[in-house]
Amino acid sequence: MNDWYDEIGKGYTSLRIPDKRIATIVHKALGNADRVANIGAGTGSYEPLDREVYAIEPSALMLSQYEGTGKRIQGIAEAIPLGDNSVEASMGILTLHHWENWKKGLKEMLRVSQHSVVLLTHKPDLYDFWLLDYFPAIREIDQKIFSSIEDIESEASLNQWKTESITVPVPFDCTDGFLGAYWRRPNAYFSSEVRRSISTFNLLDSALVEHTLERLKNDLDSGEWNKRYGQLNNITELDLGYRLLRMTPV
């Protein structure tokens, strides 16, 4: 698994720049927590810079590119190397689907956190934009790898934590290059660097990707894409199913 993390980590920081608007939502959800654990921290995206942070990340390459101000600790979500109630809050940004055992990882986050757990995840059944017309396999993959929000809420409830779901709209000029970030910039998907920094693309057959991108290019050149989806150019943000889950003790 770490080798896979290392592969998608190449050039990650130049394309996965935290979006300030999304960061505002994340930091508000963290409340007044002074000590925060970032689980699956990657390069430190969305960490609050004005608090004490413990960045927990399995990939040595990701940790070497860490740009946060926190303490770097190599470790996995399923065995967080922190004591019980050692931080006031823990956070995880688009990381749950990378874990070997998300239930164990969530239980660990609840164990180390005193007041809140904040998770940015994705609800594939709400993910409805033009890219899926070209790559329908993306939805199939995401439905397999993303745990349902209902299951996450249920697991938290079993551990005596309640969950609030907050919609995170994606701005048209989102700086964080996750899968839905380029919904108004279709040409971005032609970049191999962009695709490499998006985990789902790394799970698609490479020949299929190239063939489909050729079809997308033809549609853009002919004006067909604009005919079908051009109305998106009048929208500044879009709900693509990204949800911030804020959990607090009952």
**pLDDT at residue 126 above 90?**
no
Q: ∠ CA 84-76-92 to the nearest 5 degrees?
A: 80
Backbone angles phi, psi at 117, to 5 degrees: -125, 130
Cα distances (angstroms) measured from residue 223 to each of 186, 212, 227: 13, 17, 6
- The amino acid that residue 71 corresponds to is K
- CA proximity to 36, closest of 99, 97, 80: 80
Beta-bridge partners for 54: 37, 71
CA distance 6 to 58: 10
The better pLDDT of the pair 55, 68 is held by 55
pLDDT band, residue 13 (cuts 50/70/90)? low
What region does 98 belong to: left with phi over 0, alpha with psi -120 to 50, or beta? alpha
- Name the percent of the chain lying above pLDDT 90: 80
* Across 6-10, 239-243, 246-250, least confident range: 6-10
Domains annotated on the chain, with CATH? 2-249 (3.40.50.150)
Q: Band of the pLDDT at 125, cuts 50, 70, 90?
A: confident
Percent of the chain surpassing pLDDT 70 = 95
Q: Are 26 and 118 in contact (CB under 8 A)?
A: yes
